């Protein structure tokens, strides 16, 4: 479903009422004492009890029917290529499918699956600028895709990063997927990128596919990228002692991915908890990949980390929303005035053994999605991909 920009000329007011459980996305207070959200022109303007907020003159009212509302999920690690197509498994419509898994924002870790990907400096810059522009303009299912993530190659100089930043590039693709495999060069380029406001991510662990290579903890620490990409491997993880050392010695973000080693994911989570640095943990799928397209990948990670990692469900959601938004400097991911009005409505899946949504997640089940809203507009009603929600919200006006 494409969003219709022509409809945005007059002011819109969305009221979501009768919320049973409101998840904030913020680890400091993951559950809000509120049952109503008001959003004007795609931005949250008020959160509170229905009697305390102005719900008049709404252009759309959603009755949440006492279900759970959370910020739209953020996938911190995707590999888009062009439009809603991935050549990795030659699938169409994957981004729209992820939206049906609650994802409203994606961050590219490099458009590395592009057939014939240019590796010369002018070519890689052109491709990054193209991807940034194309995904800014084209949003399958309404999903916001921050793409245009060049992979660093030997021969790049400081002016290249300055030029990329001036052209609108804000992120680097995974360091290590190009010809730069040494910490010294990578560190220099990451610093140039940072100087011009471009955020960096490094591939961590064994090679993902033939052609990529091992990045060990020494290379990760020396490069000092902003995000330690797939700290649990993508898919091959580093030895346990290297993972715990990365958590302890670096202060950078710890990204856990669906298409990584699940045991290593639990180790990284446990180590971050012991360090009292859960705010560094963010979630991605690292997909499309050799293991396919995973529309429910972020939900599956939330359920895995909550049920086997023993963290409350409401905290697990923060890793995929507020944490990622803060680290990626995005204005979504939190239920708070001024933030993007993107939401996922969930209920426990039909016939789950859980008592309620959070209990079902803590027991390892996936939630059922009843609605997805992006920028104040409905992108999906009942998800076509999750198990059916016991109760689904309804647009009442
Ligand atoms: Zn990787």
CATH number of 192's domain: 3.20.20.140
**Are residues 358 and 384 part of one domain?**
yes
Cα–ligand 1 centroid distance for 335 (angstroms): 30
Cα–ligand 1 centroid distance for 207 (angstroms): 8
Question: Which band of pLDDT confidence, cut at 50, 70 and 90, is reported for residue 9?
Answer: low
The range of the structural domain enclosing residue 38 comes to: 5-71+334-395
**Are residues 165 and 32 part of one domain?**
no
Predicted local confidence at residue 375, as pLDDT: 98
pTM of the model: 0.96
Cα–ligand 1 centroid distance for 92 (angstroms): 22
Cα–ligand 1 centroid distance for 58 (angstroms): 45
**Are residues 256 and 154 part of one domain?**
yes
148-162 pLDDT tens trace: 999 999 999 999 999
**Are residues 175 and 78 part of one domain?**
yes
pLDDT at 397 exceeding the cut of 90: no
**Are residues 125 and 229 part of one domain?**
yes
How is residue 345 written in tokens? Answer: 């409505």
Cα–ligand 1 centroid distance for 91 (angstroms): 20
**Are residues 176 and 49 part of one domain?**
no
Cα–ligand 1 centroid distance for 203 (angstroms): 4
Give Cβ neighbours of residue 112 (< 8 Å, ≥ 6 apart): 79, 151, 173, 174, 177
pLDDT at 287 exceeding the cut of 80: yes
**Are residues 265 and 279 part of one domain?**
yes
CA dist., res. 22 & res. 285, Å (int):
25
Cα–ligand 1 centroid distance for 315 (angstroms): 26
If one counts the domains in the chain, the total is 2
Residue 98 placed within a domain: yes
CA dist., res. 78 & res. 343, Å (int):
20
Cα–ligand 1 centroid distance for 206 (angstroms): 9
**Are residues 125 and 51 part of one domain?**
no
Cα–ligand 1 centroid distance for 151 (angstroms): 11
**Are residues 114 and 242 part of one domain?**
yes
CATH code of the domain covering residue 10: 2.30.40.10
Between strands 343-348 and 68-71, the pairing is antiparallel
Cα–ligand 1 centroid distance for 215 (angstroms): 9
How is residue 50 written in tokens? Answer: 């229905």
Domain boundary among 295, 326, 349: 295
In the chain, the percentage of residues whose pLDDT exceeds 70 is 98
Residue 306 placed within a domain: no
φ/ψ of residue 91, rounded to 5: -115, 145
Domain boundary among 248, 277, 295: 295
Cα–ligand 1 centroid distance for 45 (angstroms): 38
**Average pLDDT score, the chain:** 96
Cα–ligand 1 centroid distance for 308 (angstroms): 24
Cα–ligand 1 centroid distance for 208 (angstroms): 6
**Are residues 244 and 123 part of one domain?**
yes
How is residue 210 written in tokens? Answer: 């033939």
Residue 319 placed within a domain: no
Predicted local confidence at residue 1, as pLDDT: 45
Which whole number is the average pLDDT over 289-317?
97
Cα–ligand 1 centroid distance for 257 (angstroms): 10
Q: Tell me the H-state helices in 42-146.
A: 94-99, 121-137
More confident residue, 142 or 397: 142
Cα–ligand 1 centroid distance for 272 (angstroms): 21
313-358 pLDDT tens trace: 999 999 999 999 999 999 999 999 999 999 999 999 999 999 999 9
Residue 311 placed within a domain: no
Cα–ligand 1 centroid distance for 218 (angstroms): 16
Domain boundary among 239, 272, 295: 295
DSSP 232: T
**Are residues 167 and 104 part of one domain?**
yes
Residue 175 placed within a domain: yes
Cα–ligand 1 centroid distance for 380 (angstroms): 30
Cα–ligand 1 centroid distance for 230 (angstroms): 7
Residue 302 placed within a domain: no
Residue 308 placed within a domain: no
Cα–ligand 1 centroid distance for 234 (angstroms): 5
**Are residues 201 and 58 part of one domain?**
no
Cα–ligand 1 centroid distance for 293 (angstroms): 15
Cα–ligand 1 centroid distance for 5 (angstroms): 35
Cα–ligand 1 centroid distance for 286 (angstroms): 7
Residue 371 placed within a domain: yes
């Amino acid at each position: 479903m494409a969003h219709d920009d022509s409809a945005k000329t007059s002011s819109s007011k969305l009221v979501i009422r009768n919320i049973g459980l409101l998840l904030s996305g913020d680890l400091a207070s993951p559950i809000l004492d509120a049952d109503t959200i008001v959003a004007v022109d795609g931005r949250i303007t008020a959160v509170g009890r229905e009697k305390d907020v102005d719900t008049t003159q709404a252009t759309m009212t959603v009755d949440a029917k006492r279900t759970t509302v959370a910020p739209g999920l953020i996938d911190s690690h995707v590999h888009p290529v062009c439009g809603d197509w991935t050549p990795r498994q030659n699938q169409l419509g994957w981004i729209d499918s992820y939206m049906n898994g609650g994802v409203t924002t994606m961050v590219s870790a490099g458009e590395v699956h592009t057939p014939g990907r240019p590796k010369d400096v002018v070519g890689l810059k052109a491709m990054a600028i193209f991807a940034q522009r194309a995904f800014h303009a084209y949003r399958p299912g309404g999903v916001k895709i921050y793409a245009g993530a060049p992979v660093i190659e030997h021969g790049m100089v400081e002016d290249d990063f300055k030029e990329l930043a001036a052209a609108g590039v804000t992120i680097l693709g995974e360091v290590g997927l190009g010809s730069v495999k040494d910490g010294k060069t990578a560190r220099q380029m990451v610093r140039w990128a940072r100087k011009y406001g471009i955020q960096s991510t490094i591939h961590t662990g064994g090679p993902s596919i033939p052609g990529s290579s091992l990045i060990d903890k020494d290379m990760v620490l020396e490069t000092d990228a902003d995000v330690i990409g797939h700290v649990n491997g993508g898919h091959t993880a580093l030895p346990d002692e290297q993972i715990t050392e990365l958590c302890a010695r670096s202060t950078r973000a710890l990204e856990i991915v669906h298409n990584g080693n699940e045991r290593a994911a639990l180790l990284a989570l446990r180590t971050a908890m012991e360090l009292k640095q859960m705010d560094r943990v963010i979630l991605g799928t690292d997909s499309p990949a050799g293991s396919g397209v995973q529309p429910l990948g972020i939900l599956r990670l939330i359920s895995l980390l909550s049920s086997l990692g023993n963290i409350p469900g409401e905290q697990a959601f923060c890793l995929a929303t507020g944490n990622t938004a803060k680290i990626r400097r995005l204005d979504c991911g939190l239920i708070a005035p001024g933030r993007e009005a993107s939401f996922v409505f969930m209920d426990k899946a039909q016939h789950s053994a859980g008592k309620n949504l959070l209990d079902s997640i803590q027991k390892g089940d996936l939630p059922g999605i009843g609605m997805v809203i992006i920028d104040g507009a409905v992108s999906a009603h009942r998800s076509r991909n999750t198990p059916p929600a016991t109760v689904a919200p309804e647009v009442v006006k």
